[in-house]
A and B are shown apart, each in its own frame.
Chain A
């Protein structure tokens, strides 16, 4: 039996909307952005999207994401769009771009890598091919970006 469901994600007055997140990835984005503070957060999962079929979306009230934070989201979902809202108006809308180089936000999966034994930030070079890969500057191992654990 088919059932029509309506999902309502309220508009926000000020803050950030991350739209077109690949379906199923929104929890990773929440984890990445460490959204445990006072900001109200609304999320939608598996919504229909003309652009990418199924999408997730997240709205964060009263927090404007930095460029660095936005770039990190590209590691999880390159299709995502960053929208900055000010007084209910869209003031900036940008597609995310995969960074070529990223410091600190990737946890190197190689247990023998020096970034896992010394207090030093990881450094990764990203190859934005299909599929995107990342190589550790230190241990030189290469991984699929989608398999990496990202932190902020």
Chain B
């Protein structure tokens, strides 16, 4: 593995190697040393969680980071091409970790520079490191990735995390429930991929009544701005808020995941139940990103 651009590029073996490495790092069985290694974190669109997570991952391994955050700081304002910006930053660093609103930006970056490139999110396309930390959270809580029943709820149309996760779990024969308002359904191109792989999925409009047979419910935020009329949002938002009373008949192994930040789609009364796993999930992100960086830099 030279770069991490899209879940579509990863084989089942690649994914399992990453899971195994993350687990060994978490248990302290391997301690990658990134002393004198520098990661360039290029965030052309705002991010706190993902950027901090990568920054933490690098520093936990004694490595260091240089950070560019927000397009206003880029040389693009001075007329420099994207390729030139990348080539220059590649002179300073050992690995490039980038987020961009432009879809395909990380793939292009990997063509331009000789360093490993990690896609930390490109528009509505891919967010593979999030998908991998989600997989790591699933394997930790379920003991396996194969043949699980997974619910994805919220904005499935624009949410890149759910796109990457659906593709990743398809490799392991997941059975999906997609729960969203009709105009925020999973895009056709993702559903086509699942059909080609003989993956089962059903589509629903309410969380309530559709979670009792699930192993995992993955909740994402629905942005009010997606609705043309704010009243339409008020009408449907209750269908996409998970609360404690809905958890009465869920399976014992059931876990709720969320990429965070949460607004009000998971009521805080869920936080104290044994089903809430979104904060440990964020911590898993650090182990997973340590594993990704270590593998790409050949340190494990």
Q: Which residues of A contact B (CB under 8 A)?
A: 110, 112-115, 117-120, 136-142
- Indicate whether A139 sits within 8 Å of B192 (C-beta atoms), given known contacts A112-B124, A118-B82: no
- Give A135's nearest chain B residue, CB to CB: B189
Q: Is the CB of B104 within 8 A of A140?
A: yes
Contact (Cβ within 8 A) B125 A139: yes
**B6 on the A face (CB < 8 A):** yes
- In terms of DSSP, what is the predominant structure of the interface of chain B? mixed
B-to-A contact residues, CB < 8 Å = 6, 8, 81-83, 101-105, 107-108, 122-126, 189, 192
What number of A-B contacts does a CB cutoff of 8 Å give?
47
Q: When A112-B124, A140-B8 are in contact, do A120 and B192 touch as well, CB less than 8 Å?
A: no
Q: CB < 8 Å: which of A112, A118, A138, A140 contacts B83?
A: A118
User: Top 10 A-B pairs ranked by shortest CB distance?
Assistant: A138-B104, A139-B103, A114-B104, A142-B189, A139-B104, A112-B103, A112-B123, A114-B102, A138-B107, A114-B108
Inter-chain contact A114/B103, CB cutoff 8 Å: yes
**Bound Cα distance A140, B190 (Å):** 10
Closest to A108 in B: B104
With A137-B107, A139-B125 given, is the CB distance from A112 to B102 under 8 Å?
yes
Q: How far is the CB of B105 from chain A (nearest CB, A)?
A: 5
CA–CA, A115 and B82, complex, Å:
12
Q: Chain B residues near A142 (CB, 8 Å)?
A: 189, 192
Q: Are B104 and A137 in contact (CB under 8 A)?
A: yes
Residues of B within 8 A of A120 (CB): 108
Question: B82 to chain A: which residues have CB within 8 Å?
Answer: 114, 118
The 7 sampled A-B contact pairs (Cβ below 8 Å) are A110-B103, A112-B124, A114-B105, A114-B107, A138-B103, A140-B126, A142-B189
Chain A residues with Cβ below 8 Å from B83 are: 118
Q: Which residue of A lies closest to B6 (CB)?
A: A140
Report the minimal beta-carbon distance from B230 to chain A, rounded to whole angstroms. Answer: 25
Q: How far is the CA of A140 from the CA of B123 in the complex (A)?
A: 11
A112 and B83 CA atoms in complex are apart in Å by: 17
A115 lies within 8 A of B189 (CB): no
Q: Are B81 and A118 neighbours in the complex by a CB distance under 8 Å?
A: yes
